[in-house]
Amino acid sequence: MSTIPRRKFIQLSAVAAAGCLVQGGREARADDLPHLTSDDPMAQAMKYTDDASSVDAASRNNPAADQSCATCALVVGTEGDWRPCQIFPGKSVSASGWCSVWAPKA
Ligand code: SF4
């Protein structure tokens, strides 16, 4: 079972709900989406980087060892270097990236 702190869970839920409204039920394709950049205000709020290896493991909320967008429950799809993410609607994230709401796949 995931151990996401309550505050982070609430933050994650609000962002995910906003993403559902923006997506409007359409299937996002990574090829159609601009890449998320670390200077995006939302990316900064979530401490997104497109290089997960640059993140100090001690600073992460979740202690799991293998953390990247490719291993996150919130990424959409399993193919490609850039993929849609439920947290960042309208953008694609690097499969090698990471942000502070990373959660393990079930
Ligand atoms: Fe999205 Fe997960 Fe990557 Fe964060 S770690 S940007 S939630 S796929």
43 in a structural domain: yes
Query: What is the residue range of 53's domain?
Result: 27-94
Distance CA 104, CA 3 (A): 10
72 in a structural domain: yes
Distance CA 63, CA 86 (A): 22
Q: Is 82 in the pocket of ligand 1 (CB under 6 A)?
A: no
**pTM for this entry:** 0.76
How many domains would you assign to the chain? 1
84 in a structural domain: yes
Structural tokens at position 39: 């200077």
CA of 18 to the centre of ligand 1 (A): 15
49 in a structural domain: yes
Query: For residue 20, what pLDDT is reported?
Result: 47
Q: What is the mean pLDDT of residues 81-106?
A: 96
20 in a structural domain: no
Mean pLDDT of the chain: 84
Q: List C-alpha distances in Å: 19 to 6, 26, 51, 72, 96.
A: 20, 11, 23, 17, 22
Read off the CATH number of the domain in which 88 is found: 4.10.490.10
Interacting residues of 45 by C-beta distance below 8 A, sequence separation 6+ = none
104 in a structural domain: no
CA of 26 to the centre of ligand 1 (A): 19
Best residue among 15, 44, 78, 102 to mutate for probing ligand 1, ranked by most atoms within 8 Å of CB: 102
